[in-house]
Structure 1
Amino acid sequence: MSAVRVLTGLDLPWGSPGGSVELLKDLYLDPSGPLAADAFMLVPDGPQPVAETGTAPPALLDVPGKQLSGEGFWDYVDRLTDAVTARFPHHEQDVVHFQHLAFGATPALLRGYPKQPAIGLVHGTDLLFAAEYPTQGEVLREAVAAARSLVVPTAGMADQLRRLTPVESGRIVHIPWGVPDALLAEPPARRRRDDSELRVLYAGRLTTEKGAAELVVALSGAPGLRLSMASPVAEFRRLSAELDLSAVHHLGWLPRKELWAAFAEHDLLVVPSAKLEAFGLVAVEAQACGLPVAYQPVPGLRDALGDSALPLDLLADPQRALAELARLRDDPGALDELRRSGFRNAAGFPLSRTARELAALSSQVR
């Protein structure tokens, strides 16, 4: 256990979907993990979700009025700063971890704990929102200027960060995100495939940058392909208002272990992200479960997956992408090779290494 006490948090309601929430659980909410941490999130709108086995829930703060831009954003940050500092005394914190370089938690931590050294963890959404919203661009630049080190999971994220703001290479530290060691040691048993169809899975949010709408359009009516989506219910309903999803099997937003079980019941995960991904943790977890992956070759995903998965440009050349999917449907050997290369890739990203390297970095900047 690290002797350094870390303070971190996300200004998202507890129970929110998303990769950064899963990373927070993995790295900071395991009482037996190498990172000794206090963590916070926001009070959920509905009933509080039950914490998963082996994790302790974060402190839940009741701070209304979250928004992304304008003067109202800074009023919200002031309220969040007051709530965080009231909950976590300054003298108990050694190092602050920014879970994003944008949004509200980062400026709240900056204002609330100006004397503690800070480490910033770079996610794809930070960079996308900083490029789109001037207020979030301001937060990102402030966070980058204040952080002792900036942790990027892939070289692609470092390149994207430099495009938004100057940052010295010496402050950028490459630490990949990780797959739980227990999953690598004992993946779920795979369900035998029916060779008459290719069971395609999409897993994630249905926001514009994820490319899910383009995936539905590309696969619509394709013979021998069955598309399932593991995604938030409200987002699936919104997409249903725009597209015909009657042929899509919706699984809902699945808890982590249920998602791993779903990986074992499909033949291919498709990750059609339209812009960038920090790492693509869901894809690497799928590989750990023996599920082959096809992906849009965007920054981040290219670094994490490379030739262990199938680059598939659904956006620029959907017809060729469909032909590739048909080839996989008809060639079990090609799927098996992708499965083997994918598992080898996932084995190189154990979560224990991510946690150890973050703990070591926290000790260095203290």
Structure 2
Amino acid sequence: MAELSFNILATGLDWPTEKPGGLNIYYRSICKTLALRHCIEALVCCSEPPGQEPETNLTLSNISNPLVPMVRRQTAFKKYVHRATNDRRIDIIYSHFAPYAMGAARIALGKNIPVVVGFHGPWAAEMKVEQAGLKGRIRAAIARRIELQTYRLADRFIVLSRYFKKILQEDYGISPDKIHIVPGAADIERFRPAEDKMRLRKELGLPTDKLVVLSVRRLVHRMGLLQLVAAWKEVVRQHPDALLYIGGTGPLQEALETEIQLNGLEQNVHMLGFIPEELLPAYYQSADLFVVPTQALEGFGLVTVEALASGVPVFATPVGGNVEILTRFSPDFLSEDITVDALAKGLNLVLKHQERWPTAQQCRDYVLSHYTWDQVLQSVENIFFEVLEQKGRGKR
């Protein structure tokens, strides 16, 4: 193992073993990657303490219970960071969720410890999209105030796409020279093409004689699954053998089931529910096509690179990071816009010309060239070195 360079204190949200999702999966992945060469403690807020990650210099600390009020959780994070920075040398505060990072950033300011923020999206704007009405507006206003207070204390920002860099600049007033674009990555050992796709389908109870299209998303409005189901009615008119499988849980479960019934798609669209983490690679490998129908605020597209690493082409709406991922690889797999009509038109065109699809190896090679955790590690380390030297705390 390489000589340790940094002592990093990271603040996240949850851990994906308790609550799956793009932010939590990224947080675990980057912490485990950094722990290959550095000492890192990852602070989380879980109902049950998450198990430790073996064979790394990663320590997991559960700071509070997500069921207690937000103010109490924030206080618990601040007190823990205060003790930690008094007890030992901390080189970097690495934040991934603004509310839990606000107290840590204030402590860091007083101790000349650099704060690097991993920006995973505009928290307040996401609230507005998902929760309408007065309550949603009030919560969004509080969230924005917390974000602004936290981000004013940050020395550097790491974003996953040009799309999120633009949001930080225009919506939060962050200077562009503080923002670094470091795309996300796929675990290329877990996600790889299937050796026997039909055998996997049999094990998962999927048909071996149909075209299997998969989408795995949180069941919330901005993920675009209602639009995808509506579009599928037109897709099956031209491609009756195409089956859509939707994996995930969330508040739109009932609405999606109703939409399927209203469109008479019970034989063409199937809800898989929660897919356990250990089964996710097999579901990717079993699919012929993966669909990402996001309507808003897609910062990167972690599922996109995971599917590609598994050898599966990806069709997506032209939102956020997916534009940047797919434009230079398979631009024909981007729909014209986010509407139901555009989804239906784009999917029908792609399904009509399957002979033009990239091969499994081409999909994987693209990820190996651009989206691996080794590449992310090098970029993040360089940002840490830069900000440490700026603070007069440089160490190489």
TM-score, normalized by the shorter chain, greater than 0.5 = yes
- Structure 1 residue 305 corresponds to structure 2 residue 331: no
1:49-105 deviation per Cα after TM superposition (whole angstroms, max 9, x unaligned):
6667767672112345556xxxxx4454224323454567553321101113x3x21
CA–CA separation in structure 1 for the residues paired with 2:118 and 2:164: 11
The verdict on how the C-alpha distance between 1:202 and 1:181 changes in structure 2, with shifts beyond 3 A counting, is closer
Aligned-partner SS, 1:92? coil
The verdict on how the C-alpha distance between 1:112 and 1:250 changes in structure 2, with shifts beyond 3 A counting, is farther
The verdict on how the C-alpha distance between 1:106 and 1:129 changes in structure 2, with shifts beyond 3 A counting, is farther
Query: Is contact 2:300–2:322 with CA below 8 Å preserved after alignment?
Result: yes
- Structure 1 residue 198 corresponds to structure 2 residue 211: yes
The verdict on how the C-alpha distance between 1:64 and 1:330 changes in structure 2, with shifts beyond 3 A counting, is closer
- 1:266 corresponds to: 287
- 2:100 corresponds to: 105
CA–CA separation in structure 1 for the residues paired with 2:343 and 2:127: 31
Query: Is contact 2:93–2:115 with CA below 8 Å preserved after alignment?
Result: yes
Q: Which has the higher contact order (CA 8 A, sep 6+)?
A: 1
TM-score when normalising by structure 2: 0.78
Query: Is contact 2:157–2:178 with CA below 8 Å preserved after alignment?
Result: yes
1:251-273 deviation per Cα after TM superposition (whole angstroms, max 9, x unaligned):
33334452121111011111011
The equivalences for 1:62-73 within 5 A come to: 62-63=64-65, 65=67, 73=70
Opposite residue 280 of structure 1, the aligned amino acid is G
- 1:189 corresponds to: 195
CA–CA separation in structure 2 for the residues paired with 1:63 and 1:48: 9
CA–CA separation in structure 1 for the residues paired with 2:257 and 2:81: 39
The verdict on how the C-alpha distance between 1:341 and 1:276 changes in structure 2, with shifts beyond 3 A counting, is farther
Structure 1 runs not aligned, ≥5 long: 68-72
- 2:92 corresponds to: 95
Query: Is contact 1:228–1:250 with CA below 8 Å preserved after alignment?
Result: yes
Query: Is contact 2:34–2:377 with CA below 8 Å preserved after alignment?
Result: no
2:247 aligned to 230, 233, 238, which one?
A: 230
Give 1:281 deviation, angstroms: 1.2
The verdict on how the C-alpha distance between 1:304 and 1:31 changes in structure 2, with shifts beyond 3 A counting, is closer
Give 1:139 deviation, angstroms: 2.2
Among the aligned pairs, what percent are the same residue? 19
Structure 2 runs not aligned, ≥5 long: 129-136, 202-206, 389-396
Query: Is contact 2:124–2:141 with CA below 8 Å preserved after alignment?
Result: no
Opposite residue 288 of structure 2, the aligned amino acid is D
CA–CA separation in structure 2 for the residues paired with 1:154 and 1:306: 13
Query: Is contact 2:13–2:24 with CA below 8 Å preserved after alignment?
Result: no
Aligned-partner SS, 1:308? coil
The verdict on how the C-alpha distance between 1:278 and 1:218 changes in structure 2, with shifts beyond 3 A counting, is same
1:310-366 deviation per Cα after TM superposition (whole angstroms, max 9, x unaligned):
1124732x345324333443433123x265553343121111111122123223322
Opposite residue 94 of structure 2, the aligned amino acid is H
Query: Is contact 2:193–2:310 with CA below 8 Å preserved after alignment?
Result: yes
- Report the number of matched residues: 353
1:188-236 deviation per Cα after TM superposition (whole angstroms, max 9, x unaligned):
435159896431111121111111121122214722221112213x546
The equivalences for 1:1-366 within 5 A come to: 1=2, 2-12=4-14, 15-29=18-32, 33-44=36-47, 58-63=60-65, 65=67, 73-86=70-83, 89=86, 91-100=88-97, 102=98, 104-114=99-109, 115=111, 116-126=113-123, 128-129=125-126, 133-183=140-190, 187-189=193-195, 191-192=197-198, 197-220=210-233, 222=236, 223-232=240-249, 234-235=250-251, 237-240=253-256, 242-244=258-260, 246-247=266-267, 248-309=269-330, 310-313=333-336, 315-316=338-339, 318-335=340-357, 337=358, 339=360, 341-347=362-368, 348-366=370-388
Query: Is contact 1:8–1:96 with CA below 8 Å preserved after alignment?
Result: yes
Larger Rg: 1 or 2? 2
Opposite residue 356 of structure 2, the aligned amino acid is A
Opposite residue 265 of structure 1, the aligned amino acid is S
- Aligned CA RMSD, in angstroms, stands at 3.1
The verdict on how the C-alpha distance between 1:64 and 1:351 changes in structure 2, with shifts beyond 3 A counting, is closer
